[in-house]
Amino acid sequence: MFFGSKRMEMAKRGAREETTLLPASLCDLCPDETGVVEETLWRTEHAALLESYGFYPGCPVTRVGSAPQGDPVIYRLEGRLVAVRKETAAKITVRRAKK
């Protein structure tokens, strides 16, 4: 899903949004929502590879869309678009802005 269908997805997640405890995983971000990568990232085994794509603590990351089947998910960080599989995104912790 990409850009256009964000309202539907946000409506589905609406109830959960209200009560989400921070931090969350990267794949929990809604379309166009921005989070900030957390420190826990450094404990993952491929931290250096993830860092080189911009997934380092403190880096703002915005979910901008996904592949037609919903996976991989596409994020914008440091001015570039990076596609990440959900299984990888689930291991990256982010701080979400409180609603």
Q: Does 85 bind other proteins (CB under 8 A)?
A: yes
Min dist. Cβ of residue 82 to other proteins (A): 5
Q: Say how far apart CA 91 and CA 5 lie, in whole Å.
A: 25
Give the contact letters, 28-57, x = binds to other proteins (CB under 8 A), - = no: --------------x--xx-xxxxxxx-xx
* Total residues interacting with other proteins, rule: CB under 8 A: 38
SS (H, E, C) 44-96: CCCHHHHHHCCCCCCCEEEEEEECCCCCCEEEEECCEEEEECHHHHCCCEEEE
Handedness of CA 18, 19, 23, 27 (dihedral sign): negative
* Out of 25, 30, 82, 95, the residue judged to bind other proteins by CB under 8 A: 82
Interaction site with other proteins (CB under 8 A): 1-5, 42, 45-46, 48-54, 56-59, 64-69, 71-72, 74, 78-85, 87-88
